[in-house]
Amino acid sequence: MERQVNLTTDQLRRLANFLQKSCGIFLDDKKLTRFQRKIETIVHEYESGDFNRFYHRLRFAGDKELVQALINAVTINETYFWREHEQFRILVEEILPSMVDQNRLRHIRILVLPCASGEEVYSIMLAILDKKGLLERLNIELIGVDIDTDMIKMAKRACYSQRSVSKLPKHLVDSYFTKDKGSYCFDKELVSLVQFFQVNIFEENLKSRLGEFDIIFSRNMLIYFNKEDKRRSLERFHSLLKSGGYLFLGHADAGMLDRSMFEPYVSGFQVYRRN
């Protein structure tokens, strides 16, 4: 019989402190309790329950595989297509048309951070495809990034449950998905047009790695961070956005914005413009 791992509160807090310092993920005691069994499973799988050896590999040996496994265990990626869809309407009916240049095909870069398992990235693509005429006037580049490598793999696979696509208009499901053994798989040619990367928002070379963007979607990520790291995240968004670029946040992020960096674009919908 396998020996069950039971981590102490102090051991869990040491791991939480490591995650907060290394990638900004903030876990209070309530969240630690929520993720305890998943964390204990990781400790068992990698070091047969020996916490000291596990922590040494994390803290001092720089074991990237182990760090990533721990990150994947404590990140929540509950999402679905067409979530907060009013923001997509604002994107395709107001913001993108305002960016059209009558004299040339303008290149627009959109970043989704975090992208989770891809539903948000592909929802943006579907909204754009459904708005006739936009792609004839704009060359749109979509990039999805996430700290969780398991989510990146799922986003690239692009096959989803019926629940995940249930909020989508039927004509979009019929036009762009193929049903395969109970899953709804997004059009493979369209999947190939999106770039996905594993990224930590706090890594030093983020801007040189990703470049600048016209639009950033980052919905309900700030809830993972403490006050200081929320501020750092907003500074990163400000740095990554071109002057006058647009930032879409989630409802859970409301009230966290620094008005010296961003001003509201649409009241009540968490859409902001870079100062």
Q: Convert the pLDDT of each residue in 262-272 to its tens digit.
A: 999 987 889 99
Q: Are residues 230 and 127 in the same domain?
A: yes
Report yes or no on 2 lying in a domain.
no
Higher pLDDT, 212 or 251: 212
Q: Are residues 135 and 258 in the same domain?
A: yes
Predicted confidence at residue 215, as pLDDT, reads: 98
* Residue where a domain stops, chosen among 35, 50, 74: 74
Report yes or no on 30 lying in a domain.
yes
Instruction: Collapse the DSSP code of 1 into the 3-class scheme (helix H, G, I; strand E, B; otherwise coil) and give the result.
Output: coil
Average pLDDT rounded to a whole number, residues 220-239: 89
pLDDT of 192 over the 90 cut: yes
Q: How many domains does the chain have?
A: 2
Instruction: Collapse the DSSP code of 146 into the 3-class scheme (helix H, G, I; strand E, B; otherwise coil) and give the result.
Output: strand
Q: What is the torsional sign of CA 26, 30, 34, 39?
A: positive
Average pLDDT rounded to a whole number, residues 77-92: 90
pLDDT of 97 over the 80 cut: yes
Q: Are residues 170 and 255 in the same domain?
A: yes
Higher pLDDT, 187 or 62: 187
Report yes or no on 209 lying in a domain.
yes
In percent, how much of the chain has pLDDT > 90?
55
Contact 246, 214 (CB under 8 A): yes
State which residues form the domain around 232: 86-274
Q: Are residues 58 and 110 in the same domain?
A: no
Predicted confidence at residue 266, as pLDDT, reads: 82
In percent, how much of the chain has pLDDT > 70?
97
Q: Are residues 103 and 170 in the same domain?
A: yes
Report yes or no on 201 lying in a domain.
yes
- Chain-centre distance of CA 220, in angstroms? 9
Higher pLDDT, 133 or 248: 248
Q: Are residues 253 and 140 in the same domain?
A: yes
pLDDT of 256 over the 70 cut: no
Neighbours of 244 (CB within 10 A): 10
> What would the DSSP string read from start to end of 177-223?
EEEETTEEEEPHHHHTTSEEEE--TT-TTHHHHH--EEEEEE-S-GG
Report yes or no on 81 lying in a domain.
no
Report yes or no on 49 lying in a domain.
yes
Q: Are residues 170 and 269 in the same domain?
A: yes
Q: Are residues 44 and 162 in the same domain?
A: no
Report yes or no on 270 lying in a domain.
yes
pLDDT band at 1 (very low <50, low <70, confident <90, very high): very low
Predicted confidence at residue 241, as pLDDT, reads: 97
DSSP label of 92 = I
Q: Are residues 47 and 135 in the same domain?
A: no
Mean pLDDT of the chain: 90
Report yes or no on 4 lying in a domain.
no
- Single-letter amino acid, residue 182: G
Cis, bond preceding 97 (omega within 30 deg of 0)? no
pLDDT of 223 over the 60 cut: yes
Q: Are residues 127 and 36 in the same domain?
A: no
pLDDT of 167 over the 90 cut: yes
Q: How far apart are CA 135 and CA 117, in angstroms?
A: 25
Q: Tell whether pTM > 0.85.
A: no
Q: How far is CA 230 from CA 25, 82, 88, 227, 234, in A?
A: 10, 25, 24, 5, 6
CATH code (residue 214): 3.40.50.150
